[in-house]
Structure 1
Amino acid sequence: MASLILDDIVIHQGQQRLLSLDTAVAPGEVLTVMGPSGVGKSTLLAFIAGFLSPAFQAQGRVLLEETRIDTLPAEQRHVGLLFQDPLLFPHLDVAGNLAFGMVREGTRRQRRARIHDALSSVGLEAFAGRDPATLSGGQKARVALLRVLLSQPRAILLDEPFSKLDAARRDEIRHWVFARVRDHRLPTLMVTHDEADARAAGGRILRLTERGTVMGLTDQEEGA
């Protein structure tokens, strides 16, 4: 399994430096990045994933173990993204959404079996033909993460992934997502404003100042 290495990353918007960062995320680790709005947290995720807006400029290297990925097209980086909104395709049923991002390996029957097994693993085996609009917020979050995992990513990026969930389900979905990340041994970088997200992740917490510099890197016990 590969570590996600952020090697001397510096991001600017025009003449303004937004953030600078040099760290590595181990397989199965969740590194949480926190800080005020506007310091470039989501911009950092966009750079790693290959979707950086032309309004920003980035220096440094992003590697998955020994493979440099910041020079590759987004579709070749094998980085999964999970956002505030599940972003499920409304014209596809649940199974169609899961199939959309899958690596086209094996036969169609084998891919259907993988989808069935994935849904069964989260108690949604009867939902393959459901319209995504009929799902609850927690069900949508599960389907969105399954879609990411079925694409066989080598790292995961989480951008405020739990902020749209109601309070009653948020803690349950948090722990479910982090358990899957650890099970798959995926290095994970999470951006959030929520201290409860950071505590649930159980990993290091990197705090940025208003100028985007690292104010502190805190270790915590898993699940604390």
Structure 2
Amino acid sequence: MLRADDLVFAHPGQTSPYHFSLSAEAGEVTAISGASGSGKSTLLDLLAGFLSPSAGTLLLDGTDIAALPPEKRPVSLLLQADNLFDHLTAADNVALGLPKGIDKGTGKEKVRAALAEVGLGEFADKPASTLSGGQKQRVALARTLLRDRPVLLLDEPFSALDDETRRTTRDLVAELTRRHGWHTVLVSHHADDIAALAQRHYRLSDGRLIAA
């Protein structure tokens, strides 16, 4: 279980700090909703390690990870923008998720397997610039598979997709979360995404998370 217990944080000049508490189970999607400026991005930055709380704990299976820097934290972050390099192939973009020092042949096999798992096995040699928005998000998910981190943070990952691509990508996220036992935390403004994906839903209001 991923559990945040009263993570306290205030931006400079912020008079009333945020107090974040939530639980996210392995193999499930936990959704976060709230108005613009309510603190959703701040929460993700705290979970990812880009911001440090002034108090509180962040536990993953009983181990406090709040002091770990972003590169040491068992967390992957997928944004609305896919963060691919358009001049690289799909396979080369996925390979950026490989651990350092891995054997070249083994790495190539892992990349191909990850692309196949997200339904893009035949796109390995396609430049990212030629892929659709949905295909790019799938490549980003394949890269996440290689990182093998148990916490996946999603920040409005479907916003730029058309309705059909949104549904299929959403289904893929749900399946990968179950299959790999990820603790997936989804920030979304879209009620349909939350209803389709989330087993738990928190709403941010007045700097605190409220079970919805």
TM-score between the two structures when normalised by the length of structure 1: 0.88
* 1:9 paired residue number: 7
- 2:87/2:129 contact within 8 Å kept: no
- 1:105/1:111 contact within 8 Å kept: no
Deviates more, 1:80-89 or 1:167-176: 167-176
- SS of 1:15 mapped into structure 2: coil
Q: Which runs of 4+ in 1 moved over 3 A?
A: none
- 1:10/1:17 contact within 8 Å kept: no
- SS of 1:205 mapped into structure 2: strand
CA distance in 2, matches of 1:153, 1:57: 22
- SS of 1:16 mapped into structure 2: coil
CA distance in 1, matches of 2:35, 2:105: 47
- SS of 2:100 mapped into structure 1: coil
Which letter maps to 1:191? Answer: V
1:105 shift after superposition: 6.0
Alignment of 1:1-224 (within 5 A): 3-13=1-11, 14-17=13-16, 19-52=18-51, 58-104=54-100, 106-209=102-205, 211-214=206-209, 216-218=210-212
Superposed CA offset, 1:114-157 (max 9, x none): 11112122332221121101001111110011111211112110
- SS of 2:10 mapped into structure 1: strand
CA distance in 2, matches of 1:133, 1:58: 42
Deviates more, 1:121-130 or 1:189-198: 121-130
- 2:118/2:141 contact within 8 Å kept: no
Which letter maps to 1:213? Answer: R
CA distance in 2, matches of 1:106, 1:161: 29
In percent, how many aligned pairs have the same letter?
Answer: 41
Which letter maps to 2:104? Answer: R
CA distance in 1, matches of 2:138, 2:201: 24
1:69 shift after superposition: 1.6
CA distance in 1, matches of 2:202, 2:178: 19
- SS of 2:80 mapped into structure 1: coil
Superposed CA offset, 1:69-110 (max 9, x none): 221111100201011111102232211111112123642111
For this pair of structures, how many residues does the alignment match? 211
CA distance in 2, matches of 1:20, 1:171: 33
- SS of 1:145 mapped into structure 2: helix
> Could you list the runs of 5+ residues in structure 2 that have no partner in the other structure?
none
> Could you list the runs of 5+ residues in structure 1 that have no partner in the other structure?
219-224
TM-score between the two structures when normalised by the length of structure 2: 0.92
- SS of 2:59 mapped into structure 1: strand
* 1:221 paired residue number: none
CA distance in 2, matches of 1:200, 1:25: 17
Give the root-mean-square deviation of aligned CA atoms.
Answer: 1.7
